[in-house]
Structures are given as C-alpha cells and as structure tokens.
Amino acid sequence: MRSSRVAGQPRYAVVAQALTEDILSGRYSVGAILPSEHALCTQFDISRHTTREALRRLQALGLVTRRAGVGTQVKSNHIAQRYVQVGDTISDLYQYAKDMVLNVLEMTDIEADADAAALLGCSKGQAWSKLRGVRVTDGGDEVVALMDAYIARTYRGVLGDIDGADLPIWSLIESRYGVVPAEVRQQISATTLSRAEAENLSAREGDPALRITRHYLTEALDVYEVAISLYPAERFTYSNTLRIEHLASVS
Amino acid sequence: MRSSRVAGQPRYAVVAQALTEDILSGRYSVGAILPSEHALCTQFDISRHTTREALRRLQALGLVTRRAGVGTQVKSNHIAQRYVQVGDTISDLYQYAKDMVLNVLEMTDIEADADAAALLGCSKGQAWSKLRGVRVTDGGDEVVALMDAYIARTYRGVLGDIDGADLPIWSLIESRYGVVPAEVRQQISATTLSRAEAENLSAREGDPALRITRHYLTEALDVYEVAISLYPAERFTYSNTLRIEHLASVS
DNA sequence: CGCTATTTGTGCGTATGTATC
DNA sequence: GGATACATACGCACAAATAGC
C-alpha cells in the first residue's frame, strides 16, 4: 500500500507544491496545458481524487483554469498578492456621508460639451443631469463639503431623492435601479478655494482644500455618475486601509 | 437510482443553494453549527462526496468555516462584495516613485517621545530611525515631494540603501528582510506649506499641498514604517481604482 | 489523565455525464 | 461518431482534531 503521507504533508499538498513550483519556475509556461488528470495520477502514483484536490489548490491560487474537454491551462506564473480595501463592503466610501445630509443648491439637465465629455469620459452631446449641493452636518449648522455631481440621464429618476439625503448618490441609484458600481475611480488633489466656492463653504478665498473626484462605472465600464467634492483642509481627511489578501496556501 | 440532475443543476449546487438561503434568511444564525456531513447526506439523500462539494461552495463564499472535530460553523449571513484595489499587487502604491529617486537630506536615530509615539502608534521610548528626503525626477531637476520617514530600528539595515533609491522604502525593506506590509493605512489631507517645507520644495510659503501619511504594518499589526509625504498641489494627484470582486456563485 | 464518540480531513476505487476537438 | 479531458456522483476506509466523560 502507498504511504498516505510524506514529511507530514498530505499527498495532494506535495503534488500541488510540485506543480506550483513548476509553474512559478516557468517549466510550465503561461498558456500551456498541464498533463491530464490521468497522466498526473500515474506520474505521482496517486488516485484521481487526490490529483483533483491538488489541482483545486492551484485553481484557488489563480494559477490555472480548468475546462472539460480542454484541460488544465496555466493562467499565471506568479501568486498574486492583492490588497483589499477593508471594511464591510463599500462602506469606506460612505465615510463622508455619515451623519450628514446633502442640500441641493441647483440642478440642471445638460448635454455634454467638450469639457464635460472629457471629465465624464463620454462622447460629446450625451445627456446628463448636473447638480450642485453642500454636505452639512445633521444639525445643519456646519458645511463640510461642496459637491458637483453628474448623473447619466438614464438614472434621472433619483434627482428627486437627493435633496436632504444622508446617503451618497450612487447608493440612491442602487436603491432605485439596482445598479451597483462595478468600479470606482478616485482622484485626490489639493487646491485652493475660488471666491465662489469659498462663499458656499463659509470659508475664505484661497484657503487650501481637498478635491476628490470619483467616477462610478457599470460592469460594462460605462461611467454613470461623477462626483466632485471639495473639502476645506481642516474639515476633512481622507483615510483608507488596505489589507493584503492571503490566498490559501498550497502546503 | 437517484437522478443525477434536477432542473439542469448539479446536485451539489442545489444543496449549496438551499443551505445558502437558509443562512442568508437567518434560519441558521451566525455562530451556529450546520448539520454534520452525515446528517446532510441523509437529509438530502446524497453521498458524502456531494455534500462536501456543496459545503466547499459555502466556504468559498465566506459563509462558513469548517474544522475537524467541531463541524461547519456559520461565519456570515451575507455574501460579501469586496472592493479590490486593482493593479498588479501593490504597484499602485509605487506610483509616486516611478522614474524618481529619493535624495536623503538627513538621518537620525531617535527614541520615540510622546508625539512620535502617538504618530507611530507605538509605546514611548521605542527605537526608530528617522529620515528626511526629497523625491526628485530622475534627471534631478525637479523636486516632487518632501518626505519624512520613520523606520523601526529592527530594519535599520536599509538606511544605507535609501539614498538615491528609485523604490519606496517598504520595498527596500522587503528586499532585504523579506517583510511584506500586511496592512497599509493611508491618510490624505490638504495643507499649506510652512516656510521650511517650501524651501526644500522650491515652492512658496503658504502654497497648497497634499499630505499623505502611510503606516505600514506587519502581519501582527505592528507598525514598522511610517512615511509622511508632502506634495505641492500642482505636482501630484493621488489616484486610485477600486473594482468589485465577484465571488463565485453557488449556482 | 486517557478513553470514546463525533466530525471533518485525506485517500482510494469506480461509473457515468458533459464539453471539446 | 469517436477520442480525450474534466465534471459529477456513488461507494468505502482510515486519519486527525475536537469535545466530553
């Protein structure tokens, strides 16, 4: 009978380790097809069940994909170490909205001119709605941010929900249309307040401020909302935690 | 003989779906132990192999954990939608370092006083090294950022590698010590340049700037490096893309 | 403390279904 | 259709981890 363990490791782990090393070292290059399950069974003198358990590990590591009728194909020659934004789901992006409401100052329907099209990442002439508002603390006594937002005409129905809302606009769109942002692109820069911006924020012209621009994209990578927020320096700090994602080890 | 399929779905998928619904609906609450594999086998009239495949799916969704001798425990009652920082590995955090080198202005060994301990998240009196430097474009003709960095004394060996390096300090630590940041905490705020800062940056006192503070933590959540970078507003924009992570469906 | 019962983990054998070429 | 490869599914046995007596 075959010994079921080698060096205290399960047999499938030994096989997974060997195959992993072969892939990382380039002996099986990306795109190549690994030996079939049957071939691996004889090569390592193990049952098909054990072979499949080993290949399952490689799959979990993102090294291979498997398809019936084709085989096990090498997809990557390195073990990805991804960083994940922590916090339950997307709530870190809420941070600015907690205990705050958005008061709308003005709202207009627009068709994208050249400048807007460049900002929105869409073609000229597309139909959007634009709004300007301020985020104020729940009591309404302190203005935290001035926000310009662009919303694709498809989701125009949320415009009525926005004034006084304590949620971000993308969240209102999710509630009403069931559309979740598949991708969020942020840009953060420092700037100084113009005269008009300072007035809306009860601040002084020339004060330093943080500008955060967020593009919200659908699964098809179409931009459907853009929000540009302006925070006077002392009223807001953006913070962010990334945690390494440990993929299951092969050992 | 039992039919191997129901409604075109594999049997394990049917079971996984049923169990998932039971968990999401709260019939099995968080912390509860699911019926044993044997119990599920008789309950659904399936083999243990099929039961285990179904439970594997729940595990992949992050709904349960399994331990020999204990059982299958419910860990979550919702399917997480995590956002992942895109880009290969951690390279988005490189962005500021591409084609730039760090010129060290001064380096000192310190022991954390109250202020430093608060900043570093360590206890008073701990041994650190502190350095100040500027990131300049590769030609050396333009200063992009002024940086203060604190490095735990354990990794003091990298100090000699830093001057002229075109990599972030954490990367130098990784090369020399094999330590990868398990968690990175970032804080981004707007500020204005002090007189001394402006001189180092060839800018004017009072100019707006972006301040990015990053804490790098080990797996044990010990802070081992802190970097505080100051970027004059027009010289840098922080950007960031989060993408939703689709976990495998149970069906 | 050791013993036992329970539960999951590992491993083998076999058969059939489904996808691809 | 046939050959090949992975997917699903049944069965069995023993090992390892855990909890409770």
Count how many domains chain A has.
Answer: 2
Per-residue model confidence as pLDDT tens digits over A26-66:
999 999 999 999 999 999 999 999 999 999 999 999 999 99
Q: In this structure, what CATH number is given to the domain that contains residue B189?
A: 3.40.1410.10
In a domain, B249, yes or no: no
- Separation in Å: D7 C1' and B45 CA: 20
Q: Give the pLDDT confidence score for residue A116 in this predicted structure.
A: 92
Helices A48-60 and A11-24: crossing angle in degrees, nearest 10, is 50
In a domain, A44, yes or no: yes
Q: Give the pLDDT confidence score for residue A251 in this predicted structure.
A: 54
- The token pair at B188 is 């981004």
Residues B67 and B91 placed together within one structural domain of the fold = no
Confidence of residue A5 (pLDDT cuts 50, 70, 90): very low
Residues A156 and A67 placed together within one structural domain of the fold = no
In a domain, B158, yes or no: yes
Average confidence (pLDDT) per 10 residues, chain B, 251 residues: 57 96 95 96 96 96 94 91 60 55 95 91 89 87 92 96 93 94 91 97 96 92 94 89 75 58
Q: In this structure, what CATH number is given to the domain that contains residue B67?
A: 1.10.10.10
Residues A101 and A191 placed together within one structural domain of the fold = yes
The yes-or-no verdict on residue A246 having pLDDT over 70 is: no
In a domain, B139, yes or no: yes
Contacts of A185 in chain B (CB under 8 A): 239-242
Contact B183 A244 (CB under 8 A): yes
Per-residue model confidence as pLDDT tens digits over A161-199:
999 998 899 999 999 999 999 999 888 999 999 999 999
A197, A238, A247: best to mutate for the B interface, most B CBs within 10 A: A238
SS3 A92: helix
pTM for this prediction: 0.81
Residues A124 and A158 placed together within one structural domain of the fold = yes
Residue at which a domain ends, from B74, B94, B128:
B74
Residue at which a domain ends, from B53, B74, B95:
B74
Q: Is A68 on the interface with B (CB under 8 A)?
A: no
Residues A64 and A143 placed together within one structural domain of the fold = no
CA distance B100 to B98: 5
- Separation in Å: D10 C1' and B7 CA: 20
Residue at which a domain ends, from B34, B51, B74:
B74
Q: Give the pLDDT confidence score for residue A245 in this predicted structure.
A: 75
Confidence of residue A86 (pLDDT cuts 50, 70, 90): low
In a domain, B114, yes or no: yes
Q: Give the pLDDT confidence score for residue B84 in this predicted structure.
A: 78
CA distance A91 to B80: 12
Residues A33 and A134 placed together within one structural domain of the fold = no
Residues B51 and B113 placed together within one structural domain of the fold = no
Residues B134 and B164 placed together within one structural domain of the fold = yes
Residues B23 and B112 placed together within one structural domain of the fold = no
Beta strands in chain B (DSSP E): 5-6, 9-10, 64-67, 71-74, 82-85, 100-111, 127-137, 143-152, 183-192, 208-217, 223-232, 238-245
Per-residue model confidence as pLDDT tens digits over A96-150:
556 789 999 999 999 999 999 999 988 888 999 999 999 998 776 789 999 999 9
In a domain, B251, yes or no: no
B52 contact to strand C (CB, 7 A limit) = yes
Residues B115 and B227 placed together within one structural domain of the fold = yes
Q: Give the pLDDT confidence score for residue A163 in this predicted structure.
A: 95
Residues B30 and B144 placed together within one structural domain of the fold = no
Q: How far is CA A88 from the centre of its chain?
A: 13
Q: Is A177 on the interface with B (CB under 8 A)?
A: no
Greatest alpha-carbon pair distance for chain A in Å reads: 84
Per-residue model confidence as pLDDT tens digits over A200-210:
999 999 999 99
Q: Give the pLDDT confidence score for residue A161 in this predicted structure.
A: 96
- Separation in Å: C16 C1' and A241 CA: 50
Nucleotide nearest the Cα atom of A39 (by C1'): D5
Contact B85 A81 (CB under 8 A): no
Sign of the dihedral defined by the CA atoms of residues B103, B105, B109, B111, in that order: negative
In a domain, A247, yes or no: no
In a domain, A246, yes or no: no
Structural domain boundaries, residue B158: 83-239
A57 contact to strand C (CB, 7 A limit) = no
Residues B65 and B87 placed together within one structural domain of the fold = no
